[in-house]
């Protein structure tokens, strides 16, 4: 290519650049689609479900439980540990079905609690369970019978 041809190409490029600057940009029209009713219903149901789950979780953490009779009752937590371990726990005359070292919930109020193990003395007494509180029976020493 000769110098004249190179110069013509540069001039042509300059002219084309000038022309593109003069052209106004095309305005894009934004089209907003309406969400279908099914999507809105799904969003609303998900919101209600999340609110329900959070409410249930908070109430559970605060010590509320659903009783066998279908009533909501306030509960407290009891932790029992004994030496020697493996003792049976009896609450209000009913076997709890757990052995020491154990944690379980009891309804709020006064309870008669016994910690028993064959060949050892029994710890027994009235204890008050408070809502959203922990009753610690951690240092239960059971002495052998003579």
- Can you tell me the distance from the alpha carbon of 122 to that of 114, in angstroms, rounded to the nearest whole number? 7
Structure-model confidence comparison of residues 69 and 19, the more confident one? 69
pTM above 0.85, yes or no: no
| Predicted local distance difference test score (pLDDT) of residue 70 | 87
The string of pLDDT tens digits covering residues 46-96 is 999 999 999 999 998 888 888 888 888 889 999 999 999 999 999 999 998
Mean pLDDT, the chain, as a whole number? 84
- Of the pLDDT bands very low, low, confident and very high (cuts 50, 70, 90), residue 25 is low
Residue 33 confidence (pLDDT): 73
For residues 33-56, average pLDDT: 92
Distance CA 58, CA 128 (A): 24
> Phi first, then psi: what are they for 24, rounded to 5°?
-80, 140
Beta bridge partners of 121: none
């Amino acid at each position: 290519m000769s110098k004249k041809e190179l110069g013509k190409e540069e001039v042509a490029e300059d002219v084309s650049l000038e022309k593109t600057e003069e052209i106004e940009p095309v305005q894009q029209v934004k089209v907003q689609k309406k969400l279908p009713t099914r999507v809105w219903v799904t969003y609303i149901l998900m919101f209600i479900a999340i609110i329900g789950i959070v409410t249930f979780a908070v109430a559970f953490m605060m010590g509320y439980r659903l009783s066998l009779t279908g009533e909501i009752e306030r509960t407290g937590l009891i932790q029992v540990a004994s030496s020697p371990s493996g003792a049976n726990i009896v609450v209000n005359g009913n076997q709890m079905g757990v052995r020491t070292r154990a944690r379980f919930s009891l309804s709020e109020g006064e309870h008669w609690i016994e910690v028993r193990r064959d060949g050892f003395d029994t710890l027994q007494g009235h204890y008050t369970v408070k809502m959203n509180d922990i009753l610690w029976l951690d240092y239960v020493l059971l002495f052998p019978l003579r």
